[in-house]
């Protein structure tokens, strides 16, 4: 693993910092009327835990993502490109708010953008 990847994990504050960022991220999502339908009835605590794993893995943290494959986890939700972009926008704003540097933000958004084809259905 490169130093820049490991540096991104540390720049976000390792797991405690990533957990705080994920909590803020889900607060933004829950407040967005265009996205709430995708989370209706979902176990948000479980989703947050998986998001912490996913984000930590995306920025070179220890451990790995143990959740379901993205295509299976999002199947049937009819997530559009517009909804996916809104989620990335909230993530970007969250990372800015928690003080992540531009390089770290680009790395996170690039890693998660690569999942678009597994998540977007419509």
What pLDDT is attached to residue 6?
55
pLDDT in tens, 3-16: 444 578 888 999 99
CA distances from 16 to 27, 31, 62, 85, 106 (A): 17, 23, 13, 26, 20
Enter the pTM of the model.
Answer: 0.87
pLDDT in tens, 44-88: 899 999 999 988 988 888 888 888 888 898 898 899 999 999 999
* Pair 39, 30: CB distance under 8 Å: yes
Q: Mind listing the domains of the chain with CATH numbers?
A: 3-119 (1.10.490.10)
């Amino acid at each position: 693993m490169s130093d820049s990847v490991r540096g991104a994990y540390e720049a976000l504050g390792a797991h405690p910092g990533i957990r705080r960022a994920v909590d803020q991220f889900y607060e933004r999502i829950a407040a967005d009327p265009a996205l709430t339908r995708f989370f209706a009835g979902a176990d948000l605590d479980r989703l947050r835990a998986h998001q912490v794993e996913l984000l930590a893995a995306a920025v070179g943290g220890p451990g790995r993502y143990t959740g379901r494959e993205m295509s299976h986890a999002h199947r049937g939700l009819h997530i559009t490109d517009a909804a996916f972009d809104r989620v990335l926008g909230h993530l970007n704003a969250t990372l800015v708010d928690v003080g992540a540097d531009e390089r770290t933000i680009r790395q996170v958004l690039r890693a998660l953008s690569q999942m678009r084809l597994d998540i977007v259905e419509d």
